Amino acid sequence: MLISGQCRCGNISLNLEWLPDPSRIPAWACTCSFCQAHKGVWTSSSSAKLQVQINNPTLLTRHTFGTRTADFLICKQCEDIPVVTSEIDGRLYAVVNVHALRGIPPTLLKHFQSDFDGESVEERTNRRRQNWISCVTVTSPVSA
C-alpha cells in the first residue's frame, strides 16, 4: 500500500510504502509532553519504505532531546512534525506521524499509548532497529 503524506503547508512531503498491505496500522500516541503538545502519534513497520522530500530546506528545523538519538523534522512554516529520524550504525530509521498521512481510513488505525521514560539509550536503539522503518531516504533540492 502506497500512502502519501505531508505537513500542512506541503514543505515536507512523504511517500510511505507499507509492505505487505496492512490490515491494521499501529498508531502509537507518545505520552511525553513534547509529543502531546505536537499531536505526535507515530507509526512504522520494519518492512516499510519511506521517501521524504524537503521542498525548502530553509523552512526545516530539527529538534533533538538530551539523548541525541532522534531528529524531529519540524516545518518552520506550519510547525507540523511529520517525521522523526534516527541514525543507527550509519543507517537511517524513521517513524511517521499518522496526522501527516492522507487518505487513510480511520478504521485502519489501531491506537496505542506509549511511554519511553526510563528507557536506556541501548534499549531505545534496539527498539528502533526492530520496529522503525529501516529503508528511509530524505531528499531536498540542491542549491545552485
Q: Is the peptide bond before 26 cis (omega within 30 degrees of 0)?
A: no
CA gap 39, 128 in Å, rounded? 20
Q: How many residues does the chain have?
A: 144
**pLDDT confidence bin for 144, thresholds 50/70/90:** very low
In a domain, residue 113? The reply is yes
pTM of the full structure: 0.92
- Here the CATH number for the domain that contains residue 69 is 2.170.150.70
Domain range for 79 is 2-139
Domain assignment present for residue 43? The answer is: yes
What is the C-alpha to C-alpha distance for residues 56 and 106, in angstroms, rounded to an integer? 30
18 within domain boundaries: yes
Query: Above 50 in pLDDT, residue 141?
Result: yes
pLDDT, position 135: 97
Whole-angstrom Cα distance, residue 112 to residue 95? 15
The number of folded domains in the chain is 1
> Is 93 inside any structural domain?
yes
Q: Is residue 144 part of a domain?
A: no
Whether the Cβ atoms of residue 43 and residue 95 lie closer than 8 Å to each other: yes
Confidence of residue 7 (pLDDT cuts 50, 70, 90): very high
Residue-wise pLDDT for 98-140, tens only, equals 999 999 999 999 999 988 888 899 999 999 999 999 999 999 9
DSSP 55-99: S-GGGEEEE--TT---EEEEETTT----EEEEEETTEEEEEEEGG
Give the Cα separation of 105 and 125 in Å (integer).
31
